A and B are shown apart, each in its own frame.
Chain A
Amino acid sequence: MSSDVRFTDFKSDKQPTWCPGCGDFGTMNGMMKALAETGNDPDNTFVVAGIGCSGKIGTYMHSYALHGVHGRALPVGQGVKMSRPDIEVMVAGGDGDGYSIGAGHFVHAVRRNVDMTYCVMDNRIYGLTKGQASPTSRSDFETSTTPEGPKQPPVNPLALALASGASFIAQSFASDALRHQEIVQEAIEHDGFGFVNVFSPCVTFNDVDTYDYFRDNLVDLEEEGHDPNDYEAAKEVILDSEKEYQGVMYQDENSVPYNEQHGVTEDMSEIPDGAPEDAMDLVREFY
């Protein structure tokens, strides 16, 4: 079936209500193309999203999907994959969703290494609540709730992932369509938790981290000859606060995904009509 799946099959008939020019359009298109390109179809794909502009993605895509509560998309995605190893799981979130309210879940999802893909649409601002500072906002970024800037340094999600033992860390740019799609594809194909931080500019509220800014400043790691299997090199680019990078920063060649580690290989949706045949053994244990 998947051979004739086109990326438009992953599109719903609902028109996005994102602002014209929003980076989320490109982020989503790349995700859909990557899913189709890796042989998935809407019936075997589960997309989870939280709250915020990013959270709307499940509405605009066509697949099995859940639009959950703020910051908790990762636990839902892990629950799906742990109980259904046969299903492709993709989680989408924003920088607030993922690195603020959901930061705790992020750390643990990374260390569990469940075989799924996590794309964070990072616009470095809270868009849907109309322009407050986000965890990735620059320390001098002036907003309605931080008139002099947040002052504290932004979260470095890539470093947080690395420190948590991530097996795949990448960054892409929504507007560089082909590279973004390629990077998401690599994340899907990775055996384990594929994390992609996607620069997805907010054209309405963020006049600093703009398309032009990223176009002018983004360094492509592939062109630089970066070896993602080299942990030390990965550490260097991830901790480099001077430059913005796109590409796969780190990939653990020996990654063993959660389900494999725990021997969780069965489709848990299939259960007998009554109690399992040997269930009386459970009772006899209490003799």
Chain B
Amino acid sequence: MAEDLNWAVGGEAGDGIDSTGKIFAQALSRAGRHVFTSKDFASRIRGGYTAYKIRTAVDDVQSVVDRLDILVALTQRTIDENLDELHEGSAIIYDGERSWEAEIPDEITAVDVPLKSLAEEAGGAIMRNVVALGAACEIADFDVEYLDESLEKRFGGKGSKIVENNKEAARLGQEYVQENYDLDHLGYSLETTDNDYVLLNGNEAIGMGAIAAGCRFYAGYPITPATSIMEYLTGRIEEYGGHVVQAEDELSAINMALGGARAGARAMTATSGAGIDLMTETFGLIATSETPLVITDVQRSGPSTGMPTKQEQGDLNMALYAGHGEVPRFVVAPTTITECFWKTIEAFNLAEKYNTPVFLISDLAMSVTEQTFPPEAFDMDAVEIDRGKLVDDDTVGEWLDSQGRFRAHAATEDGVSPRAIPGTTDGAHMSTGLEHDELGRRTEETDVRVQQVDKRNRKVETAKEEEGWEYREFGNPDSDNLVLSWGSNEGALVEALDYLEEDDIDLRVISVPYIFPRPDLTDEIESAEDVIVVECNATGQFADLIEHDALTRVKRINKYTGVRFKADELAEQITEKLSAEVPA
């Protein structure tokens, strides 16, 4: 297991918790340490408990655990909320000068730092969080110069004075702890390395993947936790000749994206479950008109408004079945932040190769989690773009009927029709959500109806054969214990393997990035004694699919508290499940 340090800052929303955490995470990343962050925030602008947690190690970290070593507490609630994660070796940094009197358990080391006064000394009370960061560096025995680099990055645009003041604030925090406390007995010492890492979250990876894949038109409507994809693309996509438009609602957003896609741009919209509900109206049109479009759903707790700032993987059935009638679609679910990048690129290729909508489903935990990676994990030279059967002036002729009309919905053997975009000579055609013939003209003729339905469904069959619907595998491939998962649970599962190893339990972990089509796991399931499906929802939507595919009952681990799985917690639950009966 990685020698790790778990750090957190907590207070009220509006206290600058997020930026404080981000600055420290970046400093650790600059020091060549792995970082994995998680956020706990409420659905309000100011007030309410909010926290930013960092787990850092020299080895790769992919999960949060139930332990907190250093806590920067700006409110009593921060301490209360994290009591069960604090241990004898924990330290709490707080400001005893503030009006609240911190109630800190005796066994925890209380580090009282006059954050506000020291910040004022450095140039302004606003920097009290940076004072706390300096104090944290001292407790963790972490070189404060890495914090300087992070502060330069953060405040460089605001001028050297601001940067210097912040550095001074950090120094004052560090020195105060040095002079007033002896904390060597806590034993923290953060090793640094020469490794270069980048630090980013799942939504940033999706946005970056979209630009790399040639997405140039994005239409969306703000909704937690999908908005940051739009915010990432705004200001960056223009550099590549693209445009982001904030539509008046989700109905408009998906229809604008549809317009962009029909005009020939690689287009995307992103939303969360409640927004998908509204977009569903247009979903059948996209599939029937055979428009290549990527629709991203960053899941949050539902139903209805549910818990907008909390984790859940409850939209899988919606991605699979949304819309009336029967329409072909692909459902792709990245399992890690790097996969958010690669699967986004793949989603655009699939959409254009098969002229159909692709659901890219991520979740809140992945969208807000920042993690370190070597930059090569996003190797742009490895990006491949496949625009499918896009015709041009020279090739359009192959697809004209005897009267020179473009067969936009030609009933090909592989189910994939050619695609002509506006401006292509002789490619003019209409597309519609009405059942239509090969030319796109409305029809109610039974044989044409069957021809077109079969054609559209045939492309899924073609894709099943042509594409590699692989899964990701970890642990012992020969183990009798098989654990299946989808989405962001992968990291916690991978780390749970270490915990289980201590108890001599081995697992074969399969993490599935494709929901439809999905890999055939029948052999893997049949060769295992115990099969457990792990997911962040109450009913086990993925487990249902697995049972359906393999015609067998599986054990389920479901979490729907609104919080993602933690590695140690997951290890415990897996141990329990392994000795439990398979449900009838």
Contact = CB atoms under 8 A, between A and B. Distances in A.
B281 A64 contact: no
Interface string B95-121: 000000000000000000000000000
A67 B431 contact: yes
Given A63-B428, A280-B380, A83 B212 contact: no
A88 to B, nearest CB: 9
A108 B219 CA distance: 14
A44 B263 CA distance: 10
A58 B214 CA distance: 29
Interface string A254-286: 000000001110111101111110011011101
B82 interface: no
Contact of A64 (B243, B261, B378, B422): B422
Contacts of A279: 211-212, 380, 383
B252 A268 contact: no
Nearest to B205: A286
B27 interface: no
B352 to A, nearest CB: 11
A274 B260 contact: no
Given A14-B441, A274-B384, A83 B430 contact: no
A64 B264 CA distance: 12
A210 interface: no
A203 interface: no
Given A271-B216, A282-B212, A264 B251 contact: no
A272 B385 contact: yes
Contacts of B424: 43
B427 interface: yes
A80 interface: yes
B433 interface: yes
Interface stretch (A25-33, A70-78, A170-178): A70-78
Main secondary structure of the interface of B (DSSP, over half): mixed
B397 interface: no
Interface in B260-304: 260-267, 281-282, 285, 289
A124 interface: no
B260 A80 contact: yes
Nearest to A88: B422
A160 to B, nearest CB: 14
Given A67-B434, A108-B252, A274-B381, A83 B247 contact: no
A154 B456 CA distance: 43
A264 B217 CA distance: 10
A108 B248 CA distance: 7
A86 interface: yes
Contacts of A159: none
B422 A44 contact: yes
B255 A75 contact: yes
Contact of A79 (B29, B217, B434, B441): B217
Given A14-B441, A276-B240, A69 B428 contact: no
A104 interface: yes
Nearest to B375: A283
Contacts of A43: 422-428
Contacts of A179: none
Contact of A66 (B217, B219, B431, B441): B431
A180 interface: no
Contacts of A67: 430-434
A77 to B, nearest CB: 6
Contacts of B208: 282-283
Interface residues of A, number: 57
A166 interface: no
Interface size class of B (residues with CB under 8 A): 35 or more
A76 B217 contact: no
B566 interface: no
Given A75-B252, A108-B252, A271-B216, A83 B259 contact: yes
B389 interface: no
Contacts of B249: 104
A59 interface: yes
A271 B432 contact: no
A246 B301 CA distance: 53
Contacts, number: 208
A84 interface: yes
Nearest to B243: A264
B212 A276 contact: yes
Contact of A268 (B213, B243, B403): B243
Contacts of B509: none
Contacts of A62: 428
A78 B281 contact: no
B200 A262 contact: no
B258 A286 contact: no
B497 interface: no
B557 interface: no
Interface in A58-109: 58-59, 62-69, 72, 75-84, 86-87, 104-105, 107-108
A150 to B, nearest CB: 25
A64 B427 contact: yes
A269 B247 contact: no
A286 B200 contact: yes
A283 B433 contact: no
A238 interface: no
Contacts of B240: 276
Interface in B369-383: 375, 378, 380-381, 383
Given A59-B441, A66-B432, A72-B282, A83 B217 contact: yes
Contact of B256 (A13, A82, A271): A82
A79 B293 CA distance: 13
A82 B428 contact: no
10 interchain residue pairs of minimum CB distance: A79-B259, A269-B264, A271-B214, A75-B255, A79-B256, A67-B432, A268-B265, A286-B198, A268-B216, A275-B383
Interface of B: 29-30, 196-200, 204, 208, 211-214, 216-217, 219, 236, 238, 240-243, 245, 247-249, 251-253, 255-267, 281-282, 285, 289, 375, 378, 380-381, 383-385, 403, 420-434, 441-442
29 contacts: A46-B263, A64-B428, A65-B431, A66-B432, A68-B282, A68-B433, A69-B285, A75-B256, A78-B245, A79-B262, A79-B263, A80-B260, A82-B260, A87-B422, A263-B238, A266-B216, A266-B241, A272-B385, A274-B381, A275-B381, A279-B380, A280-B375, A282-B211, A282-B236, A282-B380, A283-B375, A284-B375, A287-B197, A287-B198
Interface of A: 12-14, 42-48, 58-59, 62-69, 72, 75-84, 86-87, 104-105, 107-108, 262-264, 266-269, 271-276, 279-280, 282-284, 286-287
Given A76-B262, A79-B217, 4 more contacts: A65-B430, A83-B267, A84-B264, A287-B198
